[in-house]
């Protein structure tokens, strides 16, 4: 009896195990079924469609790029691509001969393509004229297909080439705005589907399915092509006249940091891109105003002066009174055994006592050493952070550099003293332009921007980029005091070559020595000037940089006149009336 009960118990357990195993396998198969039906549905459908259909691409039209006035900067020229499927080509010899005659391409290479069955889709011609396609279509060649494939064109050639950028052969953006806003510009391609058998031959009586393309959206820049053209013309002349290595300029609206012009010379024509010489292409297509850094020299004194004025207004006893403090007449300052000299004697061969306004006029380095040391590292670095040195400005453009700002804890006092007049620190030109704009516009720091809005072909605005305030740098009072002093620099000091009667131009010159392998490169300088107008209500700010000019190399004689010419061009095209001077 016990033995029978034991056998029955074992049998029940085994039966239960078998049922459990069957149930487990059933759940696996059921789960797999639902996974294939629900999760893999789209993928499997696409694979089946791809196996039993032939696709002809319908390329979307790439969106336009226009300036702030609606002027076309990047558009499209109608073109068509020619494709073939070897498995569907009925007479490869005849087809290759006719295509060779129509396209002026070697017969042998075309025949090799048409008989290569290792690829499902063969590109015969990426882009050709409509008349050529129409002529080939009349021959009714089996296995040969056609699709729209527009060519990108740039009506102004080299104008703002580093900003606009260019596209690859597949019409996707490669550099510049073309790349940064590619997701908007590219659109969505469509296709025409034909039913075929397993080897890709069209089925008789099969109908075609059409999936339409969605054209890309258009991009409106903040650039003004007229200001861009003026700035490029001015910088092109100084590049030629001084045999400089490079000439660059930025024009900003200080009220919201929208970029009105960006000039990088030498340049290249976007309609004739040197794709076969990558080194040359990389050098010419680089937007150095955003991606490269340099020691700003005396133009940086705007930041040092702004910090001192603001700290004095706050009641910081370490700050030097911008109106009453008189700097020592000594031409040198010695810090940690390092002697820092003034670039020149100022008056009648003798270095005189001077106020902050006079120190800006004369661009006296020792005076700004005094300011930096008086404020101290902690306070001064707070202002460097507020002016966003050592980090990006936030511009809508790829490849922005952060500059080079040594950590406060590791910076020697002698090097810190040099930061006060623009040495021992490296910035991008864009960083400096934005810092100067913030210092004189009331202390507002915005994210600079190159794009104003995204809009569709019917003119409706899809996205609009409004000014983005990132922070405050100084007070309105400090900004007004500084601006008055910088107006004096142009009226009475080193920036007098930027003076325009009746337009209250203000600014600061800079002449910086270049370093190579950690030592000063003899005879190599960067001449610069940052200026704006009107001084009491800034609307246009320009930073001009001339890299390694030959002959005269001072910012006052090389860069300041360029800014004047750019401002005069703006005054002319904008029909700006003179303002009442102080």
Confirm if 435 and 302 have CB atoms less than 8 A apart: yes
| Residue 328 among the catalytic residues | no
Tokens at 104, concatenated: 């002026």
Which of 161, 298, 483, 556 is labelled catalytic? 298
Contact 383, 301 (CB under 8 A): no
Give me the numbers of helices (H) and strands (E) for the chain, helices first please.
20, 21
Spatial distance between the Cα atoms of 531 and 535, rounded to a whole number of angstroms: 9
Helix (H) / strand (E) containing 365: helix 365-375
202, 54 contact by CB (below 8 A): yes
Kindly give the pairing relationship between strand 190-195 and strand 469-472. unpaired
Separation between Cα atoms, residue 235 and residue 504, nearest integer Å? 23
Structure tokens at 528: 């610069």
Tokens of 443: 């202390």
Q: How far apart are CA 546 and CA 396, in angstroms?
A: 25
**What's the angle, vertex CA 109, arms to CA 103 and CA 111, rounded to 5?**
90
Q: Are 555 and 511 in contact (CB under 8 A)?
A: yes
Peptide bond into 376 cis (omega under 30): no
Name residues whose C-beta falls within 8 Å of residue 109's C-beta, 6 or more positions apart in sequence.
Answer: none
**Which of 290, 342, 101 shows the shortest CA–CA distance to 177?**
290
Residues assigned a catalytic role: 298
């Amino acid at each position: 009896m016990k033995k029978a009960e034991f056998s029955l118990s074992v049998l029940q357990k085994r039966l239960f195990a078998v049922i459990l195993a069957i149930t487990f396998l059933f759940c696996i198969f059921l789960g797999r079924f639902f996974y294939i039906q629900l999760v893999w549905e789209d993928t499997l459908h696409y694979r089946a469609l791809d196996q039993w259909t032939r696709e002809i691409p319908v390329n979307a039209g790439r969106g336009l790029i226009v300036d702030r006035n609606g002027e076309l900067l990047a558009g499209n020229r109608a073109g068509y691509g020619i494709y073939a499927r070897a498995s569907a080509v009925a007479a490869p010899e005849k087809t290759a001969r006719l295509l060779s005659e129509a396209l002026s391409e070697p017969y042998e290479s075309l025949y090799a393509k048409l008989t290569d069955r290792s690829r499902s889709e063969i590109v015969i011609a990426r882009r050709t004229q409509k008349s050529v396609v129409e002529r080939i279509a009349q021959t009714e060649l089996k296995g040969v297909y056609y699709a729209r494939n527009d060519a990108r064109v740039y009506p102004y050639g080299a104008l703002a080439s580093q900003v606009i950028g260019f596209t690859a052969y597949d019409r996707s953006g490669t550099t510049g705005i073309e790349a940064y806003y590619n997701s908007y510009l590219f659109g969505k391609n469509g296709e025409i589907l034909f039913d075929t058998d397993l080897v890709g031959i069209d089925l008789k009586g099969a109908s075609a399915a059409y999936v339409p393309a969605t054209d890309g959206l258009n991009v409106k820049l903040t650039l003004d092509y007229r200001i861009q053209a003026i700035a490029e013309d001015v910088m092109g002349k100084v590049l030629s006249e001084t045999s400089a290595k490079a000439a660059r300029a930025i024009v900003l609206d200080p009220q919201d940091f929208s970029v009105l012009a960006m000039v990088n010379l030498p340049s290249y024509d976007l309609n004739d891109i040197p794709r076969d010489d990558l080194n040359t292409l990389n050098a010419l297509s680089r937007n150095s105003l955003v991606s490269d850094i340099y020691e700003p020299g005396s133009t940086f004194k705007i930041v040092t002066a702004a910090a001192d004025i603001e700290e004095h207004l706050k009641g910081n006893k370490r700050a030097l009174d911008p109106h009453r403090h008189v700097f020592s007449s000594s031409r040198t300052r010695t810090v940690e055994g390092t002697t820092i000299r003034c670039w020149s004697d100022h008056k009648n061969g003798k270095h005189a006592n001077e106020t902050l306004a006079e120190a800006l006029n004369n661009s006296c380095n020792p005076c700004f050493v005094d300011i930096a040391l008086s404020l101290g590292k902690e306070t001064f670095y707070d202002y460097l952070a507020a002016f966003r040195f050592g980090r990006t400005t936030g511009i809508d453009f790829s490849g922005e550099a952060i500059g080079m700002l040594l950590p406060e804890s590791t910076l020697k006092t002698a090097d810190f003293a040099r930061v006060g007049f623009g040495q021992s620190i490296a910035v991008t030109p864009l960083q400096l332009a934005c810092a100067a704009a913030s210092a004189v516009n009331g202390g507002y720091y915005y994210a600079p921007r190159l794009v104003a809005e995204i809009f569709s072909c019917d003119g409706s605005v899809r996205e609009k980029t409004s000014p983005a305030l990132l922070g405050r740098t100084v007070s309105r009072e400090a900004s007004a005091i500084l601006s008055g002093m910088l107006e004096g620099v142009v009226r009475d000091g080193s920036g007098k070559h930027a003076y325009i009667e009746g337009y209250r131009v203000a600014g600061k010159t800079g002449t910086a020595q270049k370093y190579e392998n950690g030592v000063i490169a003899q005879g190599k300088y960067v001449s610069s000037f940052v200026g704006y107008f009107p001084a009491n209500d800034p609307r246009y700010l320009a930073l001009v940089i001339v890299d390694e000019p030959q002959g005269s190399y001072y910012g006052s004689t090389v860069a300041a006149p360029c800014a004047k010419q750019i401002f005069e061009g703006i005054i002319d095209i904008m029909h700006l009336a003179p303002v009442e001077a102080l």
